[in-house]
A and B are shown apart, each in its own frame.
Chain A
Amino acid sequence: MLNYTLRRLMFAIPTLLVISFIIFALLDLAPNDPTGNLPLTIPPDVREQIRQSLGLGEPFPIRYLYWLQQFFINEPLNLLERMFGFEIGNSAERLRIRSWATRSPVVDLIIERMPQTLWVVGMSYVVGILIAIPVGIISAYRQYSWFDQIGTFVSMVGFSVPTFFTGVVLIVIFSVNLQWFPSIYDTTLKVTDWSSFWAQVRQMVLPVMVLALYNAAQLSRFVRASMLDNLNQDYVRTARAKGMKERVVLLIHVLRNSLIPVVTVIALGIPTIFSGAIITEQIFRVNGLGQLLIIAIQGADIPLVQTLTFIFAVLIVFFNLIADLLYGILDPRIRYE
């Protein structure tokens, strides 16, 4: 297992390099332009000068190498400096990855956005999992019962109705008519006492609800399907015949064997927490990483999109590795030599 992990990690480096190159090429090829959202009153020749000042005059491979150097050497050094408070070499001369739209270091922007994304999107993911697993188990165990039918109905509707719709419905009901929860997330709120904690909870309720419904809907279907597959297996009959308690049979034997697809879906989902939920963040103005990414994409802010997407790629590779390792733990028959 350790051998396998090490080999996968070694292999991850060239993989990520290839991914970063393809993303960079893709962004370079895309026809949107950093001056596209400026007012038309800025004349074309000034736009050309702006492009030059952003470094777009340099040939593509040079820009890619610059980015590599900045991301893998300059930024880590900078983080180290900040953490330990000493200076390595000439830090003022070291170029950092700068966003074209804000002209500020990309890494600082990401650090600033991280908390609200982790709070809202992460929380909704946890809530989604906590709802989905029990619902999936009960739905499968009591297949075609009322509970199962309602669960199926709610989750299918929850998944098929997009978040741009549910979000606005919740705002119209809970913010406009009932006035219970704010429709706009205040990112400057600092939790210092009970009342600010309560304010934080209130502003998280709507976006978390929207996202949790969507996540739970999807996950619970996989849990249910997988449980159903295993409930009819011979080993379940054997376990029951041995006189094991139903609870043990269900929660230890069946659940454990049903978890492989569930682990896959969850592992695929965790990186998306970091990429944020673009639509939901837009609707409730939870200005997290998703909103940062979408603004950057719309404005063709290549350094920002490149860095965010690459971090995202690292997370995907990492969590897929974790999922593969978990398969081995959940089902010892799966062997990686």
Chain B
Amino acid sequence: MKRFTALAAGTAVALALGAANAQAERGSDGNLNVLYWQAVSVLNPYLSGGTKDVEGSSVVIEPLAKYDEAGNMVPALVDEIPTVENGGVSEDLKSITWKITPGLLWSDGTPFTANDVKFTADYCMAPDGGCQQISKFQDIESIEVIDDQTVTINFTVPKPFPYTAFVGAETPVIQKAQFENCIGANAPNCTEQNFGPHGTGPFKVVEFRANDVITFEANEHYRDPAKPSFATLTLKGGGDAASAARSVLETGEFDYAWNLQVEPEVLEQMSAAGRGQVVTSFGTSVERIEVNLTDPSPDKGENRSTLEAGPHPFLSDPAVRKALSIAIDREILVEAGYGASGQPTCNILPAPENYASTNVNWCLEYNPDEANRLLDEAGWAPGGDGIRAKDGVRLSLLYQTSTNSVRQATQALVKDMWQQIGVETELRNIDAAVFFGGDPASPDTFQKFYADVEMYTNNFPGTDPEAYMAGWLCDGIPSPKNGWLGANMPRFCSEEYDALTGQMAETADLAARGEIAKKMNDILSNEGALIPLIHRGDVSAHSVTVDGVRMNSWDSELWNVADWTRKE
């Protein structure tokens, strides 16, 4: 993985070697203290799809295959990944057959079989269950148990990428015997099961305190008799990112802390204590400014920010969008808010390699002069107050985002940069639960987009971008008609783009899919409907006494916790 930073890659290699040499014995390394500052609420990712809940449950329940830190699929409960070549995926791409490793046991000592896999799918697809991972089970026609070790998933349509269900931490296998009575509307009532699922993972739950702390101990039935090397694991929650970083890097009370989005100089100063190490990895997250192509002005009433309101008074001018983009010095944004965990980008689809376009880089060069020239040419002339205007329309923007100290710093910097090309900006920040909440009654959701530009991060799970890229279809434009549901925030609409989406859904060949995805990315980025800013990495920290951490943006960060060891 090219974008994998040297720091993390180097660490990973060194630690992987270290772990191999250690020859640890199960439970010989005492307690592992992990801190997730967003506390885990429930250990069932089907009932709560929050990242913290998915990652917390990943030490107990496992999918059939995981992603490694480079985004490659690795077998977990199977011996090999089914492909067309090895016959695991049918020629018509309508079924996939998984062969489970023989001899696997649940943590209660009973055998793990194909029936559990089928049950898990039934569990999630049951009506009224409110399964939060249902999109991973889309287009499944049926699931057949061939024998105890073999299960086949049949799809209603050809699936060029059939690795949605049971690959990655979002869709682990749960035990049929335990969850049998928890199907459908009954799912939330099974507190005992949801708080203490039996699993195949390296640890099992001893005590679960919702939104607080979970105590785990090594699973004596784990498939590798030498692992995990820690006897117990404590997963504590609560607080904020900065103090989580402090507890690993400065006080050394914890061994691992997750998601440390704090200003780079703060992390650097804390790391100076020498007790811990900051690790970074890059997935598909891009911090971007989305541009409203429709008119958000309040006097449009009900039609505000919809196609019916008509085009935006100035953002519909491509020259303005391009000028706004090149007037942003992305290097400075990285330096002020991200440090090693961010890279300037012009692409909305920055990874994985097969899909990442490298064609668009015109925005990387910070060029206020060119931006000024573009605006002059397009007829936007500076007024008496220095703000450009044309035909009485002033280049004055409302710029909204969610509340988060790094985002507010970025906002302040961008405002300053836009000021220099004669664009006035009013900043607004909104509580994340409201901004991303999608309540149709609230004017402040990112779907309603009652502002000129808005900034947030988006990404996609796993490594296949098809569903993600389909977000910018004309159909995906949020409006009162579809209850403001839809992912096409810029209200972007292009026939060419829609056609490419359709083409991608029918293409199986990986290289060809990559080409289509790149074309789509280039259209979006060159249009300027989205102004990509930063390819964001995930940041965590681990104690210098812990070996084996392989920071992963494609799966749970705790995906290989079985391999972690205590360094002497």
Q: Residues on A close to B: CB < 8 A?
A: 29, 31-33, 35-50, 52-54, 98-99, 101-105, 108-109, 112-113, 168, 171, 175-176, 179, 182-184, 186-188, 281-283, 285, 287, 291-292, 295, 298-300
Contact = CB atoms under 8 A, between A and B. Distances in A.
B251 A179 contact: yes
B433 A300 contact: yes
Given A188-B215, A292-B211, A285 B434 contact: no
A52 B246 contact: no
A35 B207 CA distance: 27
Contact of B191 (A31, A43, A103, A299): A103
Contact of B434 (A32, A53, A171): A32
Given A36-B434, A38-B49, A188-B215, A50 B439 contact: no
A182 B456 CA distance: 36
Give the interface centre of B132, B253, B441, B468 by most chain A CB atoms within 10 Å.
B132
Interface residues of B, number: 72
A50 B130 contact: yes
Contacts of A291: 211-212, 238
Contact of B246 (A171, A187, A300): A171
24 contacts: A31-B439, A32-B433, A33-B433, A40-B456, A43-B135, A53-B188, A99-B210, A101-B48, A103-B47, A103-B187, A103-B188, A103-B194, A109-B211, A176-B246, A184-B247, A187-B212, A281-B238, A282-B240, A283-B239, A285-B236, A285-B243, A287-B209, A287-B211, A291-B212
A241 to B, nearest CB: 59
Nearest to B242: A168
Contacts of B243: 168, 171, 183, 283, 285
Interface in B208-263: 209-213, 215, 234, 236-240, 243, 246-247, 250-251, 253-254
Contact of B436 (A36, A52, A183): A36
Given A33-B434, A53-B188, 17 more contacts: A33-B439, A36-B436, A36-B438, A37-B50, A40-B457, A50-B132, A103-B48, A103-B187, A112-B210, A112-B212, A182-B251, A183-B247, A285-B236, A285-B237, A285-B238, A287-B238, A298-B433
A32 B246 contact: no
A38 B457 CA distance: 13
B553 to A, nearest CB: 13
Contacts of A168: 243
Give the interface centre of B133, B239, B432, B459 by most chain A CB atoms within 10 Å.
B239
A287 B50 contact: no
B129 A44 contact: no
A337 B274 CA distance: 70
Interface in B14-60: 35, 39, 41-42, 44, 47-51
B135 A42 contact: yes
Contacts of B438: 33, 35-36, 44, 47
Interface stretch (B98-106, B304-312, B483-491): B483-491
Contact of A33 (B44, B194, B437): B437
A226 B30 CA distance: 57
A20 B442 CA distance: 23
Contacts of A49: 130-131, 134
B287 interface: no
B174 to A, nearest CB: 14
Give the interface centre of B134, B439, B457, B459 by most chain A CB atoms within 10 Å.
B439
Contacts of A187: 209, 212-213
Contact of A46 (B42, B135, B246): B135
B209 to A, nearest CB: 6
A183 B444 contact: no
B495 to A, nearest CB: 23
Contact of B42 (A103, A113, A179): A103
Contacts of B130: 49-50, 52-54
Contact of B253 (A39, A109, A182): A182
